[in-house]
Amino acid sequence: MSCEIDGCHKEKISKFCSRHELAKENIEKEFSKWQIAFGSSYTMVEYLTELIENEDLNSGMWVKDIAEYILETKNDEN
């Protein structure tokens, strides 16, 4: 089975391949720091959108893939 990310054909270790899994862990770690800085009203959606759109953050390709994936799957739940 390959990674859940579209266009990624690496073998998955959980839902994602090892590179995307690592990116996801980093996103979760970073988000808790941002939430401390911006307060608890700062949401994951705002953070993920920032990761994708803010060029200054220079998010890696793997991070952007995960951010887009989480945003898309969140929308599906609504």
Residues near Zn ion (CB under 5 A) are 3, 5, 8, 10, 17, 20
Nearest to 47 by CA among 22, 26, 61, 19: 26
5 vs 70 by CB, closer to Zn ion: 5
Q: How far is the CB of 71 from Zn ion (least distance, A)?
A: 16
43 vs 73 by CB, closer to Zn ion: 73
22 vs 44 by CB, closer to Zn ion: 22
Nearest to 63 by CA among 32, 17, 26: 26
Q: How far is the CB of 70 from Zn ion (least distance, A)?
A: 14
Q: How far is the CB of 50 from Zn ion (least distance, A)?
A: 22
- CA-to-CA distance for 78 and 75, rounded, in angstroms? 5
> Which tokens is 26 given?
């980093």
Token pair 């890696």 in the structure block, residue: 60
